[in-house]
């Protein structure tokens, strides 16, 4: 029935995992990357939380004009070709090369250490965030999470990084995160003042450390010593995810203007049913929303977090 109702004619249908229960858009760095990219490129899309993998066994994947594409890199290439979008048009050849190198470091190296933390070391917390409903939901969550744990450990061993000790893996993770912090510096985005494709990639992964790994070493690192990465994540979240409000927001990351406004905001609808145009829920029903402002009433382009505000805060301390 769902397949009969689904029509991808001139519409981007994004297939991804269901929203977790903690308010974060996705526990998958690649799903979060893809949806953030669509928002950065301002492309209308429809979410479909059916849990069905692509023919290649991938998630996320898209359908557009009945064409199925999986793998975030291939999806972005496809959308650039078909729709003429390009977040990297302002980058020169050297910057494009650096951008790709950073993407591969994050997706082929940092990803695995974060996955280990999420699905092996911190599995009990991840299990609480998994969204499954029904009379046997707790049992199904336990089974799903422990199956995923086994898959992650097996794939990490095949990759090679899983053959190291836990301490060695975390050493590699810390090196990657420090590299990103050094590359970002006091810039607004990874490659400068303008957002590019690599920002969707980096945000999709660092957001896991920020909001899905409570009490772990990645979270302590990003919210402590590597504070510029935390500010970077907040900056992107507020600009491209205005309906994503976190209960533990830290005013340290807020500008003076947004700090006052954010003290009062209206309750938001469950953003599981949100996209820039329309989203399908799990029952196949569609709900339309196209907000142009965040919950503070500012436009999306006024909701940035500036480095100057943080430096002023530090001087006051």
Compute φ and ψ for 68, nearest 5 degrees. -100, 130
Per-residue pLDDT of the chain (317 residues; tens, 9 = 90+): 344 456 667 789 999 998 998 889 999 999 999 999 999 999 999 999 878 888 888 899 999 988 999 999 999 999 999 999 999 999 999 999 999 999 999 999 999 999 999 999 989 898 988 887 767 778 888 898 899 999 999 999 999 999 999 999 999 999 999 999 999 999 999 999 999 999 999 999 999 999 999 999 999 999 999 999 999 999 999 999 988 866 554 434 343 333 333 333 333 333 333 344 444 444 445 443 433 333 333 333 333 444 444 445 445 54
Within a domain: 257: no
Within a domain: 148: yes
Within a domain: 308: no
CA count, 13 A, side-chain hemisphere, 136: 5
What pLDDT is attached to residue 276? 45
Token output for 189: 């985005």
**Domain extent at residue 43:** 12-245
Within a domain: 288: no
Within a domain: 300: no
- Is this model's pTM higher than 0.85 or not? no
Question: Is the Cβ–Cβ distance between 226 and 177 less than 8 Å?
Answer: yes
Q: What is the SS3 assignment for 68?
A: strand
Within a domain: 282: no
**Please, is 296 exposed, middle or buried when counting C-beta atoms within 10 Å of its C-beta (0-12, 13-18, 19+)?**
buried
CATH of the domain at 73: 1.20.1050.130
Split into its structural domains, the chain has a count of 1
Within a domain: 24: yes
Question: Is the Cβ–Cβ distance between 80 and 41 less than 8 Å?
Answer: no
What pLDDT is attached to residue 103? 97
Within a domain: 285: no
What pLDDT is attached to residue 8? 65
């Amino acid at each position: 029935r769902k397949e009969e109702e689904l029509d991808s004619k001139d519409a981007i249908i994004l297939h991804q995992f269901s929203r977790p229960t903690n308010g974060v858009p996705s526990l998958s760095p690649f799903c979060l990357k893809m949806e953030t990219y669509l928002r950065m490129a301002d492309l209308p899309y429809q979410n479909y939380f059916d849990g069905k993998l692509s023919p290649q066994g991938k998630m996320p994947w898209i359908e557009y004009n009945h064409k199925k594409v999986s793998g975030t890199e291939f999806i972005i290439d496809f959308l650039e070709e078909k729709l003429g979008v390009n977040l990297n048009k302002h980058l020169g050849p050297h910057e494009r090369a650096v951008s790709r190198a950073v993407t591969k470091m994050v997706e082929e190296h940092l990803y695995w250490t974060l996955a280990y933390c999420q699905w092996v070391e911190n599995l009990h917390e991840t299990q609480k965030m998994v969204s499954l409903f029904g009379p046997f939901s707790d049992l199904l969550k336990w089974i799903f999470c422990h199956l995923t744990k086994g898959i992650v450990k097996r794939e990490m061993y095949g990759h090679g990084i899983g053959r190291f000790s836990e301490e060695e893996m975390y050493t590699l993770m810390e090196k990657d995160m420090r590299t990103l912090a050094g590359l970002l510096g006091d810039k607004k985005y990874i490659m400068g003042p303008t957002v590019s494709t690599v920002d969707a990639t980096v945000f999709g992964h660092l957001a896991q450390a920020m909001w899905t790994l409570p009490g772990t070493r990645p979270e302590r690192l990003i919210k402590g010593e590597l504070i510029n990465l935390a500010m970077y994540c907040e900056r992107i979240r507020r600009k491209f995810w205005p309906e994503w409000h976190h209960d533990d927001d830290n005013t340290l990351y807020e500008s003076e203007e947004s700090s006052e406004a954010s003290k009062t905001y209206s309750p938001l609808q469950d953003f599981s049913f949100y996209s820039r145009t329309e989203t399908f829920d799990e029952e196949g029903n569609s709900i339309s929303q196209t907000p142009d402002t965040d919950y503070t009433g500012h436009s999306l382009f006024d909701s940035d977090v500036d480095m100057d505000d943080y430096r002023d805060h530090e001087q006051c301390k």
